[in-house]
Chain A
Amino acid sequence: MAASPVSPVRVLRSPVFFSVAAAVVIGALFLIGTGADPVAAYRAVITGSLGSAGIGSTLTTGTSVLGMALALAIPLRAGLINLGGDGQLVLGGISAAAVGLYSPLPAPLTTVLAVLAAMAAGALYAALAALCDIRFGVPLLVSSLLLSYPASSLASYLVRYPLKEPGSSLPQTRRLPDGVELPAFGTSTVTVGLVLVALAAVAYHVVDSRTAVGYEMRMTGLNPRFSAYAGVARGPQTLRLMAVSGALAGLVGAVGVLSFPYRFLDGSLTAPGYTWTGLTAALLAAAAPLGTVLASFFFAVLQVGGLSMERTTEVPRELTQVLQAIVIVFLAARLRITWRPKKRRDAAEQLTTEKAEAA
Chain B
Amino acid sequence: MFDSDLVLSALRALTPILLAALGGALCERAGVFNIGLEGMMLMGCFTAVATSWFTGSPWLGVLAAALAAAAYSLILAVGAVTLKGDAVVLGVAMNLLAVGLTSFLLRTVFGVQGTFDDPDLLGLTEIAGFSPLTWLSWAAVGVAAVLLSRHAWGLRLRGVGEAPDAAATLGVSPTKYKYGAVLVSGVLCGLAGAQLALGNVTLFSENMTAGRGWIAVVAVMLGRALPLGVLLAALLFGLAEAAGFRLQGLGLPQQATDAAPYVVTLIALFLTTARRRRTTGASA
Q: List residues of chain A with CB under 8 Å of any chain B CB.
A: 30, 34, 81, 83, 132, 136-139, 141-143, 145-147, 149-150, 153-154, 156-157, 160-161, 276, 279-280, 283, 316, 318-322, 324-326, 328-329, 331-337, 349, 352, 355-356, 359
Q: How far is the CA of A145 from the CA of B168 in the complex (A)?
A: 36
Contact A359 B168 (CB under 8 A): yes
Q: Which chain A residues lie closer than 8 Å to B100 at the CB level? A: 318-322, 324-325
Q: Smallest CB-CB separation from B263: which chain A residue?
A: A150
Contact A332 B270 (CB under 8 A): no
Given contacts A154-B255, A332-B86, whether A138 and B269 have CB atoms under 8 Å apart is: yes
Interface residues of B in 214-247 (CB under 8 A from A): 214, 217-218, 221
| Interface mask (B259-277 → A, CB under 8 Å = 1, otherwise 0) | 1001101100110011011
Given contacts A137-B273, A322-B97, whether A316 and B107 have CB atoms under 8 Å apart is: yes
Contact A336 B85 (CB under 8 A): yes
Q: How far is the CA of A160 from the CA of B256 in the complex (A)?
A: 12
Q: Which chain B residues lie closer than 8 Å to A136 at the CB level? A: 269-270, 273-274
Q: Which chain B residues lie closer than 8 Å to A150 at the CB level? A: 259, 262-263
Q: How far is the CB of B1 from chain A (nearest CB, A)?
A: 21
Given contacts A318-B104, A328-B96, whether A154 and B259 have CB atoms under 8 Å apart is: yes
Contact A153 B85 (CB under 8 A): no
Q: How far is the CA of A142 from the CA of B253 in the complex (A)?
A: 26
Given contacts A137-B284, A157-B253, A335-B85, whether A149 and B96 have CB atoms under 8 Å apart is: no
Contact A324 B108 (CB under 8 A): no
The DSSP consensus for interface residues of chain A is helix
Q: How far is the CB of B250 from chain A (nearest CB, A)?
A: 16
Q: How far is the CB of B70 from chain A (nearest CB, A)?
A: 17
Contact A324 B96 (CB under 8 A): yes
| A-B CB contact pairs (8 Å), 13 listed | A147-B266, A149-B211, A149-B258, A150-B262, A153-B255, A276-B96, A318-B100, A318-B107, A321-B103, A325-B100, A326-B97, A335-B86, A337-B86
Q: How far is the CB of A129 from chain B (nearest CB, A)?
A: 10
Q: How far is the CB of B74 from chain A (nearest CB, A)?
A: 11
**Size of B's binding interface in residues, CB under 8 A:** 50
Contact A337 B104 (CB under 8 A): no
Q: How far is the CB of B73 from chain A (nearest CB, A)?
A: 13
Contact A332 B85 (CB under 8 A): yes
Contact A138 B266 (CB under 8 A): yes
Q: How far is the CB of A173 from chain B (nearest CB, A)?
A: 15
Q: Which chain B residues lie closer than 8 Å to A328 at the CB level? A: 89, 92-93, 96
Given contacts A146-B266, A149-B259, 6 further A-B contacts (CB under 8 A): A136-B274, A324-B100, A332-B86, A332-B90, A337-B89, A356-B174
Contact A153 B259 (CB under 8 A): yes
Q: Which chain B residues lie closer than 8 Å to A146 at the CB level? A: 214, 218, 262, 265-266, 269
B169 at the interface (CB under 8 A from A): yes
Q: List residues of chain B with CB under 8 Å of any chain A CB.
A: 35, 75, 78-79, 83-86, 88-90, 92-94, 96-97, 99-101, 103-104, 107-108, 165, 168-169, 171, 174, 211, 214, 217-218, 221, 253, 255-256, 258-259, 262-263, 265-266, 269-270, 273-274, 276-277, 283-284
Q: How far is the CA of A85 from the CA of B79 in the complex (A)?
A: 26
Q: How far is the CA of A336 from the CA of B217 in the complex (A)?
A: 21
Q: Which chain A residues lie closer than 8 Å to B259 at the CB level? A: 149-150, 153-154
Q: How far is the CB of B98 from chain A (nearest CB, A)?
A: 8
Q: Which chain B residues lie closer than 8 Å to A352 at the CB level? A: 165
Q: How far is the CA of A157 from the CA of B85 in the complex (A)?
A: 41
Q: Which chain A residues lie closer than 8 Å to B107 at the CB level? A: 316, 318
Q: Which chain A residues lie closer than 8 Å to B88 at the CB level? A: 81, 141, 337
Q: How far is the CA of A161 from the CA of B284 in the complex (A)?
A: 42
Contact B90 A329 (CB under 8 A): yes
Q: How far is the CB of B271 from chain A (nearest CB, A)?
A: 9
Q: Which chain A residues lie closer than 8 Å to B270 at the CB level? A: 132, 136, 138
Contact A319 B104 (CB under 8 A): yes
Q: Smallest CB-CB separation from A276: which chain B residue?
A: B96
Contact A153 B256 (CB under 8 A): yes
Contact B84 A349 (CB under 8 A): yes
Q: How far is the CA of A195 from the CA of B107 in the complex (A)?
A: 37
Contact B218 A333 (CB under 8 A): no
Q: How far is the CB of B2 from chain A (nearest CB, A)?
A: 23
Contact of A138 among B90, B165, B273 (CB under 8 A): B273
Contact B273 A34 (CB under 8 A): no
Q: Which chain A residues lie closer than 8 Å to B171 at the CB level? A: 359
Q: Smallest CB-CB separation from B113: which chain A residue?
A: A316
Q: Which chain B residues lie closer than 8 Å to A153 at the CB level? A: 255-256, 258-259
Q: Smallest CB-CB separation from A325: which chain B residue?
A: B97
Given contacts A160-B255, A355-B168, whether A316 and B93 have CB atoms under 8 Å apart is: no
Q: Smallest CB-CB separation from B284: which chain A residue?
A: A137
Contact B83 A333 (CB under 8 A): yes
Contact of B96 among A132, A325, A349, A355 (CB under 8 A): A325
Q: How far is the CA of A280 from the CA of B94 in the complex (A)?
A: 12
Contact of B108 among A34, A142, A161, A332 (CB under 8 A): A34
Contact B92 A355 (CB under 8 A): no
Contact A142 B104 (CB under 8 A): no
Q: Which of B89, B101, B217, B269 has the most CB of A within 10 A?
A: B89
Contact B266 A143 (CB under 8 A): yes
